[in-house]
Copies of this chain bind each other. A is one copy, B any other.
Amino acid sequence: MAIDKSLVTGSTTMLILKLLEEADMYGYQMIEELNKKSKNVFELKAGTLYPLLHTLEQKELVTSYEQTADNARVRKYYSITKKGHKYLCDKKEEWKTFISAVNDVLGAANYATA
């Protein structure tokens, strides 16, 4: 599957925050969830995700805490903040504006209805 990576640019943060809106998650889990939910279209790489999570934490859109799993493996969970919720909400509006604009140009009423 997978698509031209440059299409993904700009939407990754939105998608990660959306996952965290549903439940706290650790990095590796996000990669799997995103892959599963998108039916293998998004194959987010660890080298993309971890730096991104650190950035989101710096911006206070997420917070993190460590938790030990059954198998004694330590996982770093991320949780969305109030600021993160607000940010996600804005990004979703931008996303709607964006796809509407693309579809206006494509003249493709079948692609989206904003």
Q: Closest Cβ of chain B: how far from A75's Cβ, in Å?
A: 22
Known pairs A38-B104, A41-B101, A114-B111; A95 contacts B7 (CB<8 A): yes
Chain B residue at smallest Cβ distance from A93: B3
Q: Closest Cβ of chain B: how far from A38's Cβ, in Å?
A: 4
- Asked if A97 is at the interface of the complex by the 8 Å CB criterion, the answer is yes
Interface centre among A7, A15, A100 (most CB of B within 10 A): A7
- Asked if A46 is at the interface of the complex by the 8 Å CB criterion, the answer is no
Cβ contacts under 8 Å, A91 to chain B: 4
Cβ contacts under 8 Å, A92 to chain B: 106, 108
Closest 9 CB pairs of A and B: A6-B10, A41-B101, A7-B10, A38-B101, A112-B112, A9-B9, A6-B9, A37-B105, A7-B98
